[in-house]
Structure 1
Amino acid sequence: MIEWEADRPRWEQIADVIRERIADGTYPPRTRVPSVQQLVAEYGVAVDTAQKVLARLRDDGTLYTVRGLGSFVADSPPRA
């Protein structure tokens, strides 16, 4: 669990954790990241929140999704 910052949306904080894990090599390029259900279980958030995390990371080019397989780290994630 993470300590939630009251002034920042939870989806944004979880997205930052995933970005940190990508940066430190926990999730190397082309590696699958946790699914919506895994994010719900790990962080105790709603499905909508977990979906928003993955959507935002896709939108900014950090992840890509393969239908039926999941979301994966892009070869060259954008720098923060």
Structure 2
Amino acid sequence: QYMDKVEYCHIDSYEMPQLPPTNPSNNYGQYSGSAANHQYIIQNVIDVLNGKESITTNAAEGMKVVEIIERIYEQKNLS
């Protein structure tokens, strides 16, 4: 469900490289997950609201990432 590891990779003519280990997921009580860059996105929102920065991303881009992940899982379930 998260992007901290590759559990399955099958791409014609491609050999997946050995990836370094990732940090363990954060424990939020009833929820556990990893969001290594969320702090930067939230800081950007704060800076935009304070007039210090311009917007670096938007909800549509975030939803597009979720859509891509869901499509990857759908393809895995078809095979």
Scaled by the length of structure 2, the TM-score of the pair is 0.30
**Structure with bigger gyration radius:** 2
Scaled by the length of structure 1, the TM-score of the pair is 0.30
Query: Which is richer in strand?
Result: 1
